[in-house]
Amino acid sequence: MKRLSILIAIFIAATTFYNCNKSLKSNTHIISPKETQTLLQNHNVQLIDIRTPKEFKTGHIENAQNIDFLSLDFSEEIKKLNKKQPVIIYCRSGRRSALSTTKFLDAGFTEIYDLQGGIIKWKKQGFKIQNHPKSSRK
């Protein structure tokens, strides 16, 4: 009888944890480059490129703000953003942005969009990027 009670308690705890985790993730939506473009054109969203500054300078989506996921102050920097406004995050291939969603949720964001495949897929599907001109040396 004790074993049955313990098994039931473990089951209830696991189910509660799963449902809580699932509801947190429900605020995060993985979207295609085409859906991203539509959101950028039709809605007031914050576009965040979480690649390194060096990667950002090689080209980024127009109007993106660069906040480096690998920097020590990433969590503090995203807290400065408007948590009530939807946020679209992207990186090179989608791995870092997928990892960063937890930090955005922890910071209090309620509407998070993750660009599927990152800037690689964005470019592959023919969407434009903004390049930084190389500085001239004298």
Provide the pLDDT for residue 29: 97
In angstroms, rounded to a whole number, what is the distance separating the alpha carbons of residues 137 and 63?
27
The answer to whether 20 and 12 have CB atoms below 8 angstroms apart is no
User: Is 91 among the residues known to form the active site?
Assistant: yes
Per-residue pLDDT of the chain (138 residues; tens, 9 = 90+): 666 555 455 555 554 444 444 444 568 999 999 999 999 998 899 999 999 999 999 999 999 999 999 999 999 999 999 999 999 999 999 999 999 999 999 999 999 999 999 999 999 999 999 987 654 333
Active-site choice (91, 112, 115, 119): 91
Q: Is 59 exposed, middle or buried (0-12, 13-18, 19+ CB in 10 A)?
A: middle
Provide the pLDDT for residue 131: 86
Provide the pLDDT for residue 17: 44
Provide the pLDDT for residue 53: 97
- Please tell me the class of the 28-124 domain: alpha beta
Structure tokens at 128: 């434009």
Provide the pLDDT for residue 114: 98
Provide the pLDDT for residue 6: 55
